[in-house]
């Protein structure tokens, strides 16, 4: 049994345990063993978190849209509340690995979204300093989690995420201050929205990069 | 005698170098595969390191040629039974984790007309040329290049990946890049949207097609170069940066925001068929007139 064959039956292995051949492959292949371990962990964490904090339908719609755009799912695969629709076996046109990856992506992304609270300064700095980059190089909370996620990647990739995260946080801070200064300023509001979209993109890309 | 010694040494060095190159080349494995795909189908490619080159082709098969540099990775390919989706994915086999060099795979993919392609890489550059299906390209740091595509949706996402689009006709273009520079040359269509955090944005073309052109950045520079014949309606504003307009514009009767010398301007060129919106937070915005062909020094 090779890795591809093993991964095609992975959902069934996680659900009900594998047969001798599958277990033998699992023992002999560290990559698949690590994959199984990661997926079991994600599944456990998702179970713990999802019932406590059900995100709004908008969040699920965003995830679904993102998965559509990335070609990971097709129309009608997810309901608005994020529950996977069960299809009869004969309607299946997606591999079990595809399902599992989508579920894993949803779980990881949901954890990030649930815990995502932008850090805004309590006292805005002066207007002259509005566009100065944040001096702090340390990240907190979810941002730190994002950096941990990409830490397994090449050093320049990790650096790219760190720099971008720092810059987008500055963008959010600047735009938020502009909105606070003039709440009727539609351009400032648009900048704030764009800034959050930039940050969302970083989280989405980091999450997809962290998938096996 | 000395000359002879030198020549011998050079010859030996050349032989050693050639053998070394042959040895290195022999470690590479080049493979080719063909995947059936239905018109309107989608090809998904995930390859973190190496490169992905896409070219337009004909027929109903995706031709995938790839070069592996170690036996620590393999390429998984599959198609769904309805031939609507093909997956091509670089897969790491060994533990401990191989080096980036060992993980590198170079892909050359020929895609039939009307087939959409999604590509995701970490550092691998992506080149897409002459395709006629929708493109969704995403890279952390690898250069993304799109050339000569028409009537397609082009979605690009990058962290610090530089992005270059050339000769995109009648396209729906959406580019989101955090720190990567975005260059658009002769890109036009119903929608051209670019958003960056710190990446510079440059546009060179005529903003034709009566479309919406929206370029937004936080701290990057926006530079737009247009011919005198361009027909557009422009609004530009930088919150704390500066704006500069070298283009002859007529005042707009109604503007979304009032022109303020140095920080915002708006106006119309010719009949104003396209809408051009340029927004920067702290970066500089400049709209320039493209020198006419007669005025261009040869």
**Can you spell out the DSSP letters for A22-36?**
HHHHHHH-HHHHHHH
Please name every residue paired with B238 in a beta bridge, in sequence order, or none if there are none. B280
- Among partner residues A170, A191, A205, which is closest to B159 by beta-carbon distance? A205
At A108, the pLDDT band (50, 70, 90 cuts) reads: low
Cβ-Cβ contacts under 8 Å, A154 against chain B: 49, 100, 122-123
Amino acid A212: pLDDT:
59
* C-alpha span between A201 and A209 (Å, rounded): 12
* Range 109-138 of B in CB contact (< 8 A) with A: 116, 118, 120, 122-123, 136, 138
At B10, the pLDDT band (50, 70, 90 cuts) reads: low
3-state secondary structure of B275: strand
* C-alpha span between A148 and B189 (Å, rounded): 40
* C-alpha span between B58 and B114 (Å, rounded): 10
Cβ-Cβ contacts under 8 Å, A69 against chain B: 136, 155
Scanning B204-283, the segments in alpha helix (DSSP H) are none
Mean pLDDT to the nearest integer, A104-131: 48
3-state secondary structure of B23: helix
Structure tokens at B283: 């970066």
| R_g of chain B computed on alpha carbons | 24
Question: Chain A residue with minimal CA distance to B283?
Answer: A131
* C-alpha span between A90 and B195 (Å, rounded): 43
Amino acid A36: pLDDT:
78
* C-alpha span between A203 and A150 (Å, rounded): 10
Of B251 and A192, the one with more pLDDT: A192
Residues near B33 by beta carbon (within 8 Å), at least 6 away in sequence: B63, B64, B77
Scanning chain A, the segments in alpha helix (DSSP H) are 3-8, 10-16, 20-28, 30-49, 57-69, 96-114, 141-150, 155-181, 186-210
**Measured in whole angstroms, how far is the alpha carbon of residue B173 from the centre of its chain?**
11
Cβ of A154 within 8 Å of Cβ of B123? The answer is yes
Amino acid A115: pLDDT:
53
Q: What is the 3-state composition of chain B as percent helix, strand, coil, each rounded to the nearest 5?
A: 10, 50, 40
What ranges do the domains of chain B cover?
Answer: 162-291
pLDDT (tens digit per residue) in B179-212: 999 999 999 999 999 999 999 999 999 999 899 9
At B170, the pLDDT band (50, 70, 90 cuts) reads: very high
Amino acid A45: pLDDT:
62
* C-alpha span between B183 and B178 (Å, rounded): 14
Q: Is the pLDDT of residue A136 over 80?
A: no
pLDDT (tens digit per residue) in B109-154: 999 999 999 999 999 999 999 999 999 999 999 999 999 999 999 9
Specify whether the CB–CB gap between B172 and B189 falls below 8 A.
yes
Cβ-Cβ contacts under 8 Å, A152 against chain B: 97
Q: Which of B275, B217, B270, B266 is nearest to B245 (CA)?
A: B266
Long-range Cβ pairs for the range A59-64 (8 Å, 24+): A59/A110, A59/A113, A62/A200, A63/A105, A63/A106, A63/A109, A63/A110, A63/A113
pTM to 2 decimal places: 0.69
Amino acid A71: pLDDT:
60
Q: Is the pLDDT of residue B159 over 90?
A: yes
Distance from CA of B173 to the nearest CA of A (A): 14
Q: Is the pLDDT of residue A6 over 90?
A: no
Cβ of A130 within 8 Å of Cβ of B240? The answer is yes
**Numbered residues of chain A with Cβ closer than 8 Å to any chain B Cβ:** 3-4, 30-31, 34, 69-72, 93-95, 127, 130-131, 152-154, 156-157, 160-161, 163-164, 167-168, 170-171, 174-175, 178, 186-188, 190-191, 194-195, 197-198, 201-202, 205, 208-209
Amino acid B204: pLDDT:
97
Mean pLDDT to the nearest integer, B248-252: 84
Structure tokens at B39: 């018109």
Q: CB distance from B49 to chain A under 8 Å?
A: yes
Ramachandran area for residue B186 (φ above 0: left; ψ -120 to 50: alpha; else beta) = left
At A208, the pLDDT band (50, 70, 90 cuts) reads: confident
pLDDT (tens digit per residue) in B75-108: 999 999 999 999 999 988 877 778 888 889 999 9
DSSP sequence for B120-176: EESS--EEEES--S-EEEEESSS-EEEEEEES-EEEEEESS--EEEEEEES-EEEEE
**Measured in whole angstroms, how far is the alpha carbon of residue A141 from the centre of its chain?**
15
Amino acid B205: pLDDT:
95
Percent of chain A with pLDDT over 90: 15
Burial of B170 (0-12, 13-18, 19+ CB in 10 A): middle
- Among partner residues B44, B78, B122, which is closest to A154 by beta-carbon distance? B122
Specify whether the CB–CB gap between B263 and B283 falls below 8 A.
no
Place of tokens 């795979």: B105
Amino acid B92: pLDDT:
87
Q: Is the pLDDT of residue B14 over 90?
A: no
Question: Chain B residue with minimal CA distance to A158?
Answer: B140
Cβ of B218 within 8 Å of Cβ of A174? The answer is yes
Report the C-alpha dihedral over residues A148, A152, A154, A155, rounded to 10 degrees.
Answer: 40
Q: Which of A71, A169, A142 is nearest to B178 (CA)?
A: A169
Question: Chain A residue with minimal CA distance to B123?
Answer: A157
Cβ-Cβ contacts under 8 Å, A200 against chain B: none
Q: Which of B198, B190, B261, B185 is nearest to B224 (CA)?
A: B185
* C-alpha span between B221 and B200 (Å, rounded): 5
Cβ of A69 within 8 Å of Cβ of B136? The answer is yes
Q: CB distance from B99 to chain A under 8 Å?
A: no
Specify whether the CB–CB gap between B115 and B62 falls below 8 A.
yes
């Amino acid at each position: 049994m090779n890795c591809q064959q093993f991964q095609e039956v992975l959902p069934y292995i996680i659900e009900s345990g594998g047969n001798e051949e599958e277990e033998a492959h699992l023992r002999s292949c560290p990559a698949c063993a690590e994959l199984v371990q990661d997926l079991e962990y994600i599944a456990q964490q998702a179970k713990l978190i999802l019932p406590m904090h059900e995100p709004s339908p908008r969040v699920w719609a965003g995830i679904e849209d993102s998965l559509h755009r990335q070609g990971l799912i097709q129309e009608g695969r997810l309901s608005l509340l994020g529950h996977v629709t069960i299809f009869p076996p004969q309607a299946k046109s997606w591999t079990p690995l595809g399902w599992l990856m989508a579920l894993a992506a949803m779980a990881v992304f949901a954890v990030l979204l649930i815990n995502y609270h932008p850090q805004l300064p309590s006292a805005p700095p002066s207007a002259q300093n509005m566009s100065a980059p944040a001096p702090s190089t340390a990240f907190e909370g979810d941002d730190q989690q994002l950096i941990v996620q990409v830490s397994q990647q090449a050093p320049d990739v990790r650096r790219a995420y760190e720099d971008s995260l720092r810059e987008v946080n500055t963008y959010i801070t600047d735009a938020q201050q502009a909105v606070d200064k003039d709440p009727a300023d539609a351009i400032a509001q648009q900048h704030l929205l764009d800034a959050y979209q930039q940050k969302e993109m970083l989280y989405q890309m980091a999450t997809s990069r962290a998938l096996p | 005698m000395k000359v002879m010694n030198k020549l011998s040494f050079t010859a030996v060095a050349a032989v050693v170098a050639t053998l070394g190159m042959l040895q290195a080349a022999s470690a590479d494995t080049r493979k080719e595969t063909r995947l059936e795909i239905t018109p309107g189908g989608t090809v998904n490619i995930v390859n973190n390191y190496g490169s992905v080159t896409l070219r337009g082709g004909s027929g109903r098969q995706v031709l995938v040629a790839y070069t592996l540099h170690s036996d620590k990775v393999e390429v998984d390919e599959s198609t769904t039974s309805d031939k609507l989706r093909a997956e091509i994915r670089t897969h790491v086999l060994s533990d401990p984790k191989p080096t980036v060099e060992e993980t590198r795979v170079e892909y050359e993919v020929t895609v039939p007309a009307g087939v959409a392609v999604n590509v995701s890489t970490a550092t691998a550059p992506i080149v897409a040329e002459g395709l006629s299906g929708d493109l969704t390209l995403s890279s952390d740091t690898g250069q993304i290049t799109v050339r000569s595509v028409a009537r397609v949706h082009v979605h690009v996402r990058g962290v610090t990946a530089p992005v270059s689009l050339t000769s995109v006709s009648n396209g729906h273009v959406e580019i989101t890049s955090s720190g990567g520079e975005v260059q658009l040359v002769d890109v036009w269509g119903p929608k051209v949207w670019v958003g960056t955090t710190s990446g510079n944005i440059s546009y060179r073309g005529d903003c034709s097609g009566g479309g919406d052109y929206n370029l937004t950045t936080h701290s990057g520079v926006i530079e737009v170069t247009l011919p005198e014949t361009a027909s557009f309606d422009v609004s530009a504003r930088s919150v704390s940066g500066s704006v500069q307009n070298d283009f002859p514009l007529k005042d707009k009767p109604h503007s979304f925001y009032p022109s303020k010398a140095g920080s915002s301007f708006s106006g119309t060129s010719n009949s104003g068929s396209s809408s051009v919106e340029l927004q920067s937070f702290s970066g500089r915005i400049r709209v320039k007139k493209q020198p006419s062909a007669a005025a261009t020094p040869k």
